[in-house]
Amino acid sequence: MRFTRRRTRWARWAGPAAGACAAAVTLAACGGSSGGSTAGGSSSGTISVVMAQYSSKTQPYWTSLVSRFEKANPKIKVNLRVIDWDTLLQQVPTMIQTHSYPDVLNFNAYSTFASSGLLQPTKDVLSPGTEADFESSFLGSDSINGTQYAIPWIASVRALGYNKQAFSKAGITSPPTTWAQFETDAKKTEKAGYTGACIALGSEESQAEWSLWMWSNGGSWTSPSGQWSVNSAKNIQAMAFLRKLANTDKVTEPNPGSTNRTDGCWSQFAEGKVAMTEIMPLGTFQSTSMKGSSVQWASAPWPRSSASIPQFTLGVQDLLMSFKKPGNTAMVRTFLDFVYQKSNYLSFVQGEGFLPTTKSASAAMASDPVTGEGIKLLPEAKFYPATNPAWNKVQSTVQSQLGTAIAPSANPSSVLGQIQQIAQTSG
């Protein structure tokens, strides 16, 4: 729920942050847990917790929570780090390479870690009551071979955001529901002085943008049998449509293949220059990107190539995970149970503007006019194939290479074929 920021992003393993962990934090935060050495460990010692920064509210939240936790559990010390997403994406590969595992990590790409035997099953680090409180729709993508390793943290959905003023100026009365209508509306708003459609295929979160276009044509990351289908005929058709918008119709920003979501499309949308773009109706788009903007905007389901394709949304969840380290299990369980107490968890998701992943928080937020609508969308959500061990590599490849397919001189079939080959050889 990278979910940002959606943070379902994954950096290449050769990150520039080598040694950053040792330079920035104490030994415990770089992989050394202290405490009991029994199978479950004791509830006494030190654990390291690495959390992602979502906004200016994140650090104060965790600082307060850890202070209250340590007061309630004086035998457990928490070494906390809150790291912005871009830096986190660089540092996590270094942590893994150097075996400097944190006890608790806020990240998204977990399947490779789990398949390598690095993670603790969630049943070991959550009490039965906490474990039972999660919404069941998230659990399938958090488990491998029937064992859950990832812990749902926050969720978000993706939708088509549109500038109501741009639509009014262009004489458009309702958002598009099909690709044909989307193309027509982009042309109309382009003539009215706007960028008709901002398409974010840059390295920040191109897997999200691409998922929406791929699924809206009936395509998918994988076939029903679980085989990779990145270069399927439907996916090639989807890329052809994006190329038409960018290179023939010229209704997009100049370089969609290198445009990022936050500092590109969302920034331009907030300035009133873009008519349509992919957005996160909740979360950092609303709370940060659109803060102070005079743009009147709304969101709608993603347009589909044909009305026969069922409506859907991209569901994104950000995750927590716990690495296997001697003696840390009981301490991690005590900490996570505290984090997921209803009042503590509600404070985070409401403060940051995300959808909750627990039943108790969902019930508490169901009547909210904005969040409640987002909660209703989750049953129709499609998710990334995160349980496939190759997804980490596929996602990083998409982020670095997919955008090249939209260039006028590119061969989109070749680009998708190269990603397909990497997918097939990675797992």
Each residue's pLDDT tens digit, 267-292: 999 999 999 999 988 777 888 899 99
Residue 12: its pLDDT value, please?
30
20-155+316-379 with 159-314+394-426: one CATH topology? Answer: yes
pLDDT tens by residue, 332-370: 999 999 999 999 999 999 998 899 999 999 999 988 877
The pTM of the full predicted model, rounded to 2 decimals, is 0.74
Give CA torsion, residues 393, 212, 346, 319, to 10 deg: -10
- Under DSSP, the state recorded for 117 is T
Tell me the backbone φ, ψ of residue 315, rounded to 5 degrees.
Answer: -95, 130
- Taking alpha carbons only, the member of 388, 423, 426, 385 closest to residue 402 is 423
Dihedral sign for Cα atoms in the order 147, 149, 151, 157: negative
Of residues 198 and 38, which shows the higher confidence score?
Answer: 198
Residue boundaries of the structural domains of the chain:
20-155+316-379, 159-314+394-426
- Taking alpha carbons only, the member of 365, 354, 320 closest to residue 339 is 320
Residue 41: its pLDDT value, please?
54
Residue 28: its pLDDT value, please?
34
Task: Name the percent of the chain lying above pLDDT 90.
Answer: 72
pLDDT tens by residue, 215-258: 999 999 999 999 999 999 999 999 999 999 999 999 999 999 99
Domain range 159-314+394-426, CATH architecture: 3-Layer(aba) Sandwich (3.40)
Burial 403-422 (b: 16+ CB within 10 A, else e): bbbbbeebebeebbebbbeb
In the numeric block, which tokens belong to residue 152? 């749902």
In the numeric block, which tokens belong to residue 51? 């959390």
d(CA 126, CA 142) in angstroms, rounded, equals 14
| pLDDT of 9 above 70 | no
Query: In the beta sheet, which residues pair with residue 297?
Result: 163
d(CA 410, CA 405) in angstroms, rounded, equals 5
Of residues 9 and 194, which shows the higher confidence score?
Answer: 194
Average pLDDT over residues 23-49: 55
pLDDT tens by residue, 87-100: 998 999 999 999 99
Fold of 20-155+316-379: D-Maltodextrin-Binding Protein; domain 2 (3.40.190)
Where does residue 72 rank: exposed (0-12), middle (13-18), buried (19+ CB within 10 A)? Answer: exposed
